[in-house]
Amino acid sequence: MNTLDWDYVGRATFDRRTRMQNPPPFSRIIDQLKDEMNLVCFHREQKSSDQSYSRAVFCATVEPALFDLFFNSPTGYRGEFFISPERGVAANRLLLQELSPKLIQFAAIQDTGIDQAWLLESLSKLSAKAWLAEESLSLCSKCAGEWSTSYVSELEIRNGRWECSDHAYSVWGRQAPCLTKIRFFGGFINSTNQEWLAEHKQSRAAQIWQYGWT
């Protein structure tokens, strides 16, 4: 994508604007995450309505500048989905593949009895993903959410699509929050590795492409 198609409006320091207008490719952002993110918690989260399904959930803290590149830049996570839903799905898969060894190693330290084959299976599912930390999805104080539906950022993204709708997802998606937490979710699986995916998440890639949010 031509970064000229992706601009920002609102308040931001000169350094932030410069960084966001000259971002590295997504592969380098992944490398930075591997080197710089600090994993703070791991949970085996059970599906509330059917506890035979569970998923791996992690939270990492990063510097605001790295969060910005990952979440808000034209070459970042959402920027990949902006190009196309398929491009976003591929980028999401690459991210989880590259980070899985570090995530699994951390989980094994936190819970010495954890089944590492289960961890890998959960993180390998198509529904595995990354996102910012939402208040409503916190599982402990370490992964307490930084974002809520009332959050308003001082900087917004303008890319000719996300600002063109009044849908709530678009209102949130056009924002460029500068936060410090990224959460990684494996897919919900049962004892035979069957995957469960919420119906409203089956169009996740298309939602991020259209609105910048899901």
Asked whether the predicted pLDDT for residue 138 surpasses 60, the reply is yes
Cα distances (angstroms) measured from residue 13 to each of 16, 17, 27, 155, 180: 5, 6, 26, 10, 17
What confidence score (pLDDT) does residue 48 get? 86
Tokens found for residue 145: 């959410």
Rounded CA-CA distance 65/212 in Å is 19
Contact 170, 164 (CB under 8 A): yes
Q: What's the whole-number mean pLDDT along residues 16-37? A: 98
140 — phi, psi (to 5°)? -160, 175
Asked whether the predicted pLDDT for residue 164 surpasses 70, the reply is yes
What confidence score (pLDDT) does residue 114 get? 96
Please tell me whether residue 17 adopts helix, strand or coil conformation. helix
What confidence score (pLDDT) does residue 199 get? 83
Tokens found for residue 39: 């994993």
Tell me the longest C-alpha to C-alpha distance in the chain.
52
pLDDT category of residue 123 using cuts at 50, 70 and 90: very high
Query: Residues 28-67: pLDDT tens digits?
Result: 999 999 999 999 999 999 998 899 999 999 999 999 999 9
Tokens found for residue 30: 């992944």
What confidence score (pLDDT) does residue 72 get? 99
Rounded CA-CA distance 153/41 in Å is 26
170 — phi, psi (to 5°)? -70, -40
Question: Looking at this protein, which amino acid is placed at residue 166?
Answer: D
Asked whether the predicted pLDDT for residue 4 surpasses 80, the reply is no
Q: What's the whole-number mean pLDDT along residues 144-173? A: 97
pLDDT category of residue 191 using cuts at 50, 70 and 90: very high
Query: Residues 96-119: pLDDT tens digits?
Result: 999 999 999 999 999 999 999 999
Rounded CA-CA distance 161/195 in Å is 32
Q: What's the whole-number mean pLDDT along residues 58-83? A: 99
Residues sharing a CB contact under 8 Å with residue 24, sequence separation 6 or more, in sequence order: 32, 69, 75
